[in-house]
Structure formats: C-alpha cells, structure tokens
Structure 1
Amino acid sequence: MTSGWLAFAGTVALVVGAFNFIDGLVALFNRSYYLVGDDKIMVFNYTAWGWIWLVVGIIQIAVGGGIMAGQMWARVAGVVLAALSAIGHLAFLQAFPWWSVLTIALCVLLIYALTAPPAGARGA
C-alpha cells in the first residue's frame, strides 16, 4: 500500500536534513552569521553546534531515503530525529530565530506525517 503522507514525510525529512546540514556548515565556516553576541548557545560553542547539525543533517538525509523506500526503521528514526532536531532548534532560537521556527514547524509536520500512515505503507 502506498501513502502520500510517507512520500511527503520522506521529502520533508530530506529538506530538514539539508537545513540542518546547512546550519552546520554555516556555524563552522561563518561564525559571524548568527545574531548572538556571546559565543555560547546553551552549553555549546558554534563549532560544537556546527558538528552536531552537520552529523544530524547527514543522518536525516539518509533516513529520508529510507522513509521513501518504506522502511519501518526509517520511520522510527525519522520521528526520533525530528523530535531531537526540534529540541535542538529551540536552543538555537536565539542565534537564528526565523530559521529555527521554520525548522521546528517542519519537524512537527514530519512527526505527524510519519505517524499518520498505517504500518507497512510505503512512499509513492
């Protein structure tokens, strides 16, 4: 059985993964881009956040492909990573509010899209 929600979820997972990957690259290579005057966001500096977002983004892109292929492990991993990404972007709100709000909204939408279809459904 195919599900439009899973095709949508796979696409959103790829987009959120790309957003997080870009966040990581920006934090690593252009530290003055973000709006925060202090070098710390919560407990990490920009370099640590850069590596965190880079790794999370790469994993989310891989999970997006798994979601499109209809893998149940990818749906579970997608929900977990979307929740962690939303929480991480709450901490990142001070540095870049509009980007973080957009990413949090996409993560919430992704969680819904991954949990709404029945088990065994595949992306279109």
Structure 2
Amino acid sequence: MNLLRAVLAAALLSLCAPGCGPAAPKERSLDEAAARLALAEALDSWKAGRPHSDPSEEEPALRVADEDWLAGARLLDYRILSGDHVVGATLACPVALVLAGPDGRRVERQVTYAVATDPAPSVIRQD
C-alpha cells in the first residue's frame, strides 16, 4: 500500500513540476519604424487604385482591413497625423483620409489604424 502511495505521489509531482507543461505564448514584439512603413505602403496601394487584396500578395504578406477600401471607395489623399502611440503589440496611428464614395462625393474622415509587425505586418482600421 505504501508503494502505491509513493508511486501516485511521484506521478502527481511530475505533473506539477515546472517546465513540464505547455510553453507560454511568445510575447509579440513591435517594430515602430516597420509599422509606419507598412501603414504608408497600404495607403499608397489604395491611393494608386490597387484592389484591397493587392498588399497581401507582397512578401511578407501585408494584411489590410479597411471597410471603405473593401466597399470600393477611392482614396484621393491621406495624411498620417502626429500622435501615434503603442498599444500592446500594435501602433495606433491617426490618419486623415480624403475619400471618393461610389457616388463620387468627396468625404473626409479622421480614423485610427492599429498596425502590427509580428508575426506578419497588418494594418487594421479601428472605428
């Protein structure tokens, strides 16, 4: 009986031993210069009239999420504003957009993009 208890205790201890469980998730990093460059590349692509999927064909793939671009709005101009700041593993970047909607009307918007660089560059509009 004591041998059984000793075996069970050893089994329990081995399950609780540090380093035996799953690895902790890797903390994401942020390269602020690369994030600013990724944002400019995405917006330049949109302004040039390229389709929403175009930046994702580059290496490494740049993932972009913007509902106006996806809906077919044209980007006439943009200005990256001052005041970007780090939020976790992303850079929050305020941008002034000048859009032309499907009806041709000119619309100005101030939006914020969350830009990440790890594991791959991504530009996601936050409204």
Higher relative contact order (CA 8 A, sep 6+): 1
Q: Which has the larger radius of gyration?
A: 2
Relative to its length, the structure with more strand (as a share) is 2
Relative to its length, the structure with more helix (as a share) is 1
TM-score by length of 2: 0.31
TM-score by length of 1: 0.31
